[in-house]
Amino acid sequence: MANAETANATTQCKALTADGERCSRPAQDDGFCFQHDESDPTVSEADDAAEEQEQEQEDEQAQSNQTDTSQPTSEMASDETTDPDAVDTDELDADTESDVDTDQIEGILAIRRTVVSTAGELIGHEFDGVSEISPTDEGWCAVVEVVERSAVPDTQDVLGRYEIDLDTDGVVQGYRRLDRYRRGDTTVFE
């Protein structure tokens, strides 16, 4: 590996670009590329050695990251600019609480999970999707779609839209069919 890096270092042009970076073009026999010559500012041998050592460290780091991906690392990535431990989470939490009430979202998600897990069995047809979940005075109301008759192609399936009523604890209180339609219909529901 060191031989390959040494070969790369000797084949890379020794001249510095206008940005102060080392020229990335391959070197000719004199150590410079076709665009540079001995009159251009060059990288000293000390800089070459430091650059090689830095490259070796980067290669070893990359190799150890590839071989040891099972263990999490606490080091920051080279392109990461913010240390996660230095972020003031109290300020972020205050902003989040003002924008979204997470308890309400969790409640809706819990109702959705209940509806998804029970709709097919409750109605007796294959569950297709949840169209709507809304709070009511007595709890929750969910509108679901089930496949009442499968067809080929599936755009000809007959779907039923059902309203499922749940109490505040998410216990199903009842359901009713709102309408039936073919999957391919584009009518607007009221």
Domain range annotation of the chain: 2-63, 103-182
Terminal Cα distance for the chain, rounded: 70
Within a 10 A sphere around the Cβ of 110, how many other Cβ atoms? 13
Strand segments (E) across the chain: 126-135, 139-149, 158-167, 172-182
Per-residue pLDDT tens, the chain, 190 aa: give them.
Answer: 444 444 444 578 887 877 778 887 888 888 878 777 777 777 665 555 566 667 777 777 777 665 544 444 444 444 555 565 665 655 555 555 545 577 778 888 999 999 999 998 999 999 999 999 999 999 999 999 999 999 888 888 999 999 999 998 889 999 999 999 888 787 765 5
